[in-house]
Structure formats: C-alpha cells, structure tokens
Amino acid sequence: MLMRVMLVDDEPFILQGLSVIIDWEKEGYEIVKKASDGREALDYLLENEVDLIITDIRMPQINGLELLEIIRNEKLSEAYVIVLSGYNDFKYAQAAIRYSCMDYILKPVQKDQLLENIRRIAQKRENMMQEEIDSQRMQRGYLLQNMMALLQGKGKEQDVSYVKENFRCSEGVRYIHICLNDLSALEEMSDEEVSELKEEVYEQVSHYLREDADHLFKDFFVYEEDYEIGLVYFDYMAKERSLTEEEFIRILHKRAQSGSERLPVILLVGKRVEDISRISHSYSSACVLRSFKGFQDTKSIYYYEKEVQVNHSRTVLCKQALDDLVKAVDQNDTLLINKSVDHLFMEMDKLDRTRETVTMNLNWLIFRLINLAAEQDESVNQDEVLSYISTSVSKEKIIRGSRSHMRKFACEYAEYLVQLRKNVSKGILTEIENEIKEHYAENLTLRELGQKYYINSSYLGQIFRKRYGQSFKNYLNSYRIKEAASQLIRTDKKISQVAEDVGYHDLDYFISRFIEQEGCTPSRYRKSVREN
C-alpha cells in the first residue's frame, strides 16, 4: 500500500514543484493533500490519516512549527514530518527536532536530498511493520505452544494463565476438528493444492468468526495427515449472534464447505467441558470421533455426545463370537478367522443386524483389537491404531452383509500384529532416516514409505515414535527447520525462498513451525546469529 503524503506550503509554485520534483508513486508514495497553510492541514488531519507531512515553516495563521507542535501534543497523527525552511537558523532545527521531526531541509529543496529522506522514511516504516509482524507471529507461536500443552493434557498452571490472558475465554468450551474428508483424493493432490484448499477453508471460517478468528489453528500436528483445522469454541460465540449452539455450528460447517468445492468438509465436535483448563477432554473426544466416523452414518457434523450413545435396551453384545474372532486374529489363524466372522454375522442376523447392534459389537471389537496391539508393544499409540482400523472397516458394508470385507480386515490386522511381534525396526528405521536426509524437501509420508519398504504404515508410525519419541511428521518438520536455520546463516536467500527450499510452500506455516522450534522468527534468528 502506498504511503500517503500531505504537502503544506503557502506558495502555490512550491507545492507544485514538490509534487513533480520526484516520481512519488515509483518511490511508494501518493500525494493525498496539498494544503496552503497550517490551519487547512489541521482540518484535513481531523478527518484523514497520512503517513508523511512535508511542511514549510513560514506560513500565515499557523506556521510549520506550530502545526508540528499541535499535531504532537494533541496526538492528531503519528506521521513522519519533514520541515522546509529558507532560513538557516539552528533554532528552527532545534524546535523541529523537539517535536520528533524526521528531518530539516533548507530551501531550495534538492531532489537528491528529498529522495534520500523519503527513502529513509520508507525503510524505517518497513522495518517497523516487519517488527510488528514478527512480534505478532511470536505471540501467536507462544499461544500455540501453550494451547498445544493444554490440548494434550500436559498444561501447567502457567500455561492456563497465559492462554486466559491472551485468549478470549468463557464458560462452556468445545474443541472442533474441521476436516477435509476424502483421504484418497487428498493423497493424489500436491502439497501446494492441499495447502491452498485448506487456506480457502480457513479464510471462509475466519470471515464467519470475525474477531474470534484467532480461535482457529492450522498448526496442530497430532496425525500424520494434516488435513484439518482446529477451532476452540466457547458458548459466547453463539450467544452473541443470538444463535443456539447447533445453529452456530451448522453455519460454521456451511462456511467451511463453501471454501472447499472439490472435497467434502466435516466437523467433529468434541464434548462440552466447563473451562479451558479441561479442553484436553474435549480434544481427545474429538480425536475419538475422528476415528469412529468410519463406523457411523455418513454426516456433515458429528457430536461426541450423540455418537457415543447406544440404546442398550434394544442391542445385544455377541460376546462369545467376538471373543472367538479376537482369539483367531491374535493367533493369525486364517481358517479360524473365517469361521469366527461367519459366527459373528450369524449372531447379528438373529438380532436383525440393526445399526445399533452393529455399532455396539464393532465398538467392542475395536477396543479388544487395540488392547491386542498394546499387549505386543506398550508404546503403541492407540489413536493411531484406531485411525488405522477405521480406514479398514466399513459399517455400511457389514450392515449390508459383506462378510468378505470383515474377513479381509481381520486377516490384515492379524498380519499387523505379527509385524508388531517381529524385531523389524532397526534396519527399516535406518532406511527411513536416509530417506529423510535425502528427500526432506519432498512430500514424504508414512503411507508411501510403508509401501516402499513393505511394512504396515501404522506399525511404521509406532516404531518410529518409540525410537525417536515423536511422530514421523514432527521429526520430518524438525529436520526441515534445522536445514532452514543452516541456510539462514550460510546464505542471503529471502525467507520465502528458504521455506521453499526445505519443503514449505506456505510461508506463515513455515514461520509458525520455526518459532515453535527455535523460539524466534527466521529473520530475527538470522540477525541474532550473524550479530553474535
């Protein structure tokens, strides 16, 4: 945006000369007002904003120094000021400097001197704007770190206090996942396409939330596929719009979907908790919904409280059939798996295989299978196993009678357990390390690496987390940031170019990750290291 300039002089030919002596637009300025005296200039400032004032000293009614004094004392404008005078009197300069005058130039004005001044002002303004942007990003980065701690249930008292001081809070809190919901289509898209799609959804939702847009987060990295946006919702958001909670969330979904014409968007609404200090309970329930949606009716919005309800008076647990199937999976006995699946379907058929019956029996089976995985390796991440299961089982197919679908899943899960029992991690992880070192700037995913090295991607995620104490994606991001830090020190590349070079196509996303890891923005990091 061009900087706005007001010229003030009682001599018309001086005003005309100043307006043509340089190419203002080329230098990033536009002349918005030519005032013939101080009074006219003050009247303009009462209704308008300017960034630079160039004023003569000797003028009728209100002279240049009086104009400057009034502007500063009454805080009419924070504009930079250049004073012009035909009198080489040091007292004028002293008075001008006292009121934060940027410079004092003698008439006749020389083009080179004026250019030097306005370029210095433009650079100073750019530096101030960059510092403000860096400061906002730092604050956002710190808020993200504290919010992540609360969401993961690791928040301490100081984390809660920081969030409450820097975040508008009230009673009644929910965490809401805003998810792009076609994994196969997303995997065929490039990083740039996914980032653009996610940004469009983010912008639409931000516009709906208005001043509460800072409650949206794009940078949570719990799952390997980062196709979602997080919203920390409070009761006041609906009340201030005279809406019920469900009305507010329906409009939220409509706005989110308007930003994604290519893919469906769903909302996973975590359970309501009373206070931000308990947000981890809402977050974890939304994560459960993320995996459970594979077993529920296809919807646009899933509420935790609604999805976990089961009418026990009309459903029956086929416990013996389920126990037999779990035992067969544990033993990796294909023949017994097939028989156990047939037995389970026969039992559910006797109950007319209602949707509630299928849901209850599937949920029981899921948790039994998760326990089996945990028995093989106590470090297994249950959310990731649940996500793996939900992408493999379709409740709709089971309701329609697809025993082959259940058999296939049970056999694959049995093989997954076999992999957990084997000591395959050492050699594979060495190969994965090399892949990251050589291809860190590319779109590496566990799914593709699992296919390349013939290992279940979910299990690969488990052994990776066990070895490194973090997810594959966080490890990859950490490696990219280290490479970025090295480039910032060794080269003079622009920040945006460094981000591209290490695999980030969204500059804000890169800066947020950099702040999280290094504690400052990339530009401040470069400046600090070079100064030291």
Say if strands 80-85 and 265-269 run parallel, antiparallel, or are unpaired. Answer: unpaired
Task: For 103-141, write each residue's pLDDT tens digit.
Answer: 778 888 889 999 999 999 999 888 888 888 777 777 777
Helix (H, G, I), strand (E, B) or coil at 335: helix
Highest mean pLDDT range out of 94-103, 218-227, 360-369, 390-399?
360-369
More confident residue, 419 or 89: 419
Instruction: Please tell me the distance from the alpha carbon of residue 302 to that of residue 289, in angstroms, as a whole number.
Output: 7
Residue 161's alpha-carbon distances to 63, 79, 232, 302, in angstroms, are 52, 37, 16, 31
Instruction: Please tell me the distance from the alpha carbon of residue 448 to that of residue 180, in angstroms, as a whole number.
Output: 20
Task: For 344-375, write each residue's pLDDT tens digit.
Answer: 888 887 776 666 777 777 777 877 887 777 66
Single-letter code of the amino acid located at 17: G
Average pLDDT along the chain? 82
Task: For 228-273, write each residue's pLDDT tens digit.
Answer: 789 999 999 999 999 999 999 999 999 999 988 778 899 999 999 9
> Would you place residue 311 in the very low, low, confident or very high pLDDT band (cuts 50, 70, 90)?
very low
Count Cβ atoms below 10 Å from residue 438 Cβ, excluding itself: 9
Q: Which pLDDT does position 315 carry in this prediction? A: 54
Q: What do you get for the CA distance between the two ends of the chain, in Å?
A: 35
- Tell me 234's DSSP state: E
Kindly tell me if the per-residue pLDDT of 24 is higher than 70.
yes
Q: Which pLDDT does position 26 carry in this prediction? A: 92
Q: Which pLDDT does position 310 carry in this prediction? A: 45
Residue 174's alpha-carbon distances to 102, 308, 431, in angstroms, are 51, 16, 41
Instruction: Please tell me the distance from the alpha carbon of residue 198 to that of residue 509, in angstroms, as a whole number.
Output: 12
| pTM exceeding the 0.85 threshold for the entire prediction | no
- Quick check: 456 and 419 in contact, CB under 8 A? yes
Rg (CA), the chain: 32
More confident residue, 434 or 193: 434
Single-letter code of the amino acid located at 392: S
What are 523's two structure tokens? 């530009």
421 Cβ contact list (under 8 Å, min separation 6): 376
The mean-pLDDT minimum among 91-105, 326-340, 385-399, 477-491 falls in 385-399
Q: Which pLDDT does position 72 carry in this prediction? A: 87
Instruction: Please tell me the distance from the alpha carbon of residue 322 to that of residue 337, in angstroms, as a whole number.
Output: 11
Helix (H, G, I), strand (E, B) or coil at 155: coil
